[in-house]
Amino acid sequence: MTNTNPQTEYDSPWKQILQLYFEDFMLFFFPQAHREIDWTRQPEFLDKELEQVVRDAELGKRLADKLVKIYRIGGEESWILIHLEIQSQSESDFSERMFTYNYRIYDRYKRSVASLAILGDEQVNWRPNRFGYELFGTKVEFQFPIVKLLDYQQRQSELEASRNPLATVVMAHLAALQTLSDRLQRKQQKLSLVRRLYQQGFEREDVLNLLAFVDWVLTLPSDLEGEFLFEVEQLEAEQRMQYVTSFERSGIRLGLIEGIELGLKLRFGTVGLSLLPSISTIEDVEQLRAILSGLETVSTISELCQIYQLPTTDTQQ
């Protein structure tokens, strides 16, 4: 459940969100374009086609990209294309790459292509939105709309009030940036986002989809993850909801085992880790939670084994 990569990899959750909530995505970030799309006709995601179009290009530090075939209300063309880039950090040739992708897509399909960019980096003043040049009377000028996620830091009340799933996505993304060096604060913000999801009355499937995104981008060390999952269970008891069972009870178990592994190593060194194989077979989440808690009070491995009925070896006495 927990992504252990310290440089959190956003690609999969962003792509999943785009796939699941494309209409909500367009409504949230590009409302004018949303109004011109015929939503009675299902958008078609051309992932493999996009890979072929851009396979020779430098990918850059992006979070996700999508090529979507849509139909326009009353449009002269029967169908058109939207190329989306979600960029994770500033990049000097980003505008040129957007231009390159745009003309390559146009050249392949001979259809109008809208290029749209979401900038998820931390550089406030980095806002590339055009590429062009002029030479001997020849002029090339390419412009594309951008959305800067950092700008939503000044629109927190708007995000809080919104029932669009993308509001939660933006809040989670901003929280990930804000808490890179403060994991305790990250745990609090993660819990706050989960509480908000539970209180907004989303459909169960939407809650689970958004929980997965929040969980992926707001990664926690195993000890804090264990605390977070315990608090989520308490929250669910208060709200009389049981999403946590689908929010991967196996993930809760994994988080607890990781916490126990760390505790054993810190308290008893490599000898303590010899208990891990037997602990890893325990399915009861409550027993695992008790063991994790017990690590704070026991003095010896044999005491831990005696209290929680764990098998011992001579080296653990």
pLDDT value at residue 244? 53
What is the predicted pLDDT for the residue at 175?
A: 94
Which carries the bigger pLDDT value, residue 59 or residue 143?
143
Q: What is the mean pLDDT of the chain?
A: 83
CB neighbour list of residue 310: distance below 8 Å, 6 or more residues apart: 275, 278, 279, 291, 304
- Answer for the pair 93, 124: CB distance below 8 angstroms, yes or no: no
Query: pLDDT band for position 2 (50/70/90)?
Result: very low
Residues 6+ apart with CB under 8 A from 262: 222, 223
Residue type, 264: L
Q: How confident is the model at residue 34 (pLDDT cuts 50, 70, 90)?
A: very high
pLDDT over 90 at 141, yes or no: yes
Domain ranges of the chain: 11-151, 248-317
Q: How far apart are the C-alpha atoms of 37 and 43, rounded to whole Å?
A: 10
Please say if the pLDDT value at position 23 is more than 90: yes
pLDDT in tens, 65-103: 889 999 998 866 689 999 999 988 888 899 999 999 999
5 has pLDDT over 50 = no
**pLDDT, mean of residues 207-212:** 84
Question: Across residues 176-184, what is the average pLDDT?
Answer: 90
Contact between 127 and 121 (Cβ < 8 Å):
no
Range 46-59 average pLDDT: 70
Would you state the structure tokens that stand for residue 291, as one six-digit string? 């063991």
Q: What is the pLDDT of residues 259-312, one digit of tens each?
A: 888 888 888 888 888 888 888 877 676 778 788 888 888 888 888 888 777 776
Residue 168 confidence (pLDDT) above 70: yes
For the question of whether the overall pTM of this predicted structure is more than 0.75, the answer is: no
- pLDDT at 1 (0 to 100): 36
Q: Which residue has the higher pLDDT, 282 or 113?
A: 113
